[in-house]
């Protein structure tokens, strides 16, 4: 991945995330990237407020690229509009039993559209914290690293506590994290606190 900056017509610099092909990487764009671009473009065209979250947002911030799905975030009142727009854009909409997201499938590629984080409804104010970044040729609002990492830490439990998967991501974005906010947000969550203790001992929070 390469992160460069270019001039914006109004004098503002816009980050551009591009992929650097490797010897083993196919030349054609992955289906997951296409799903990211098509979903973001459709929501932008319909003026449905949203932000890129999850692993792909952390990828924009410097973490390894995810392989399983794309996470978009919308405020709860915008869920019906987002589902309608993505359905019209060719996605198959799935309503799982969980009450905090819906799924949008483009072939075998999955876009999770989240309207609750840690059980708390997503607000327009959270979506507004996203910074617009050019990602793979499309300008997309991207959430800051801190609220995404808070959500990932809260997802740790006795059934899923794979610190080895979290460490490379945390290490890659640590300079962009607000550690005071991070610690306050995961207080009394033993698995999240255990991860931060490990990160402290590894010198990742200093």
Residue ranges per structural domain of the chain: 2-143, 144-206
Q: Looking at residues 76-96, what average pLDDT do you find?
A: 96
CATH number of 2-143: 3.30.460
Q: Looking at residues 105-133, what average pLDDT do you find?
A: 92
Q: Taking a C-beta distance cutoff of 8 angstroms, is the pair 206, 179 a contact? A: no
Is residue 83 within a helix (H) or strand (E), and if so which, with residue range?
helix 79-88
In 3D, which of 91, 87, 54, 51 has the Cα closest to residue 69?
54
**The pLDDT value given to residue 28:** 59
Q: Taking a C-beta distance cutoff of 8 angstroms, is the pair 163, 153 a contact? A: no
**With 70 as the cut, is the pLDDT of residue 147 above it?**
yes
Tell me the per-residue pLDDT of 12-43, one tens digit each, with 9 for 90 and over: 334 444 443 333 444 457 899 999 999 999 99
Q: How far is CA 11 from CA 4, 7, 136, in A?
A: 16, 6, 21
């Amino acid at each position: 991945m390469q992160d460069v900056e270019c001039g914006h017509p109004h004098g503002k610099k816009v980050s551009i995330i591009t992929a650097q092909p490797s010897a083993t990487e196919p030349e054609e764009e992955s289906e997951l990237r296409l799903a990211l671009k098509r979903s973001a473009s459709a929501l932008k065209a319909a003026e449905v407020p949203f932000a890129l979250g999850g692993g792909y947002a952390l990828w924009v911030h410097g973490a390894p690229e995810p392989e399983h799905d794309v996470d978009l975030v919308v405020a709860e009142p915008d869920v019906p509009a987002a589902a309608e727009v993505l359905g019209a854009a060719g996605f198959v909409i799935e309503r799982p039993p969980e009450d905090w997201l819906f799924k949008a499938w483009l072939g075998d590629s999955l876009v999770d559209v989240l309207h609750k984080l840690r059980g708390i409804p997503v607000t327009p104010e959270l979506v507004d914290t996203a910074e617009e970044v050019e990602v793979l040729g499309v300008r997309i609002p991207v959430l800051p690293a801190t609220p995404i990492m808070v959500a990932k830490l809260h997802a740790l439990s006795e059934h899923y506590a794979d610190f080895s998967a979290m460490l490379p991501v945390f290490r890659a974005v640590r300079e962009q994290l607000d550690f005071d906010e991070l610690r306050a947000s995961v207080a009394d969550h033993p698995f999240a606190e255990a991860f931060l203790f490990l990160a402290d001992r590894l010198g990742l929070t200093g």
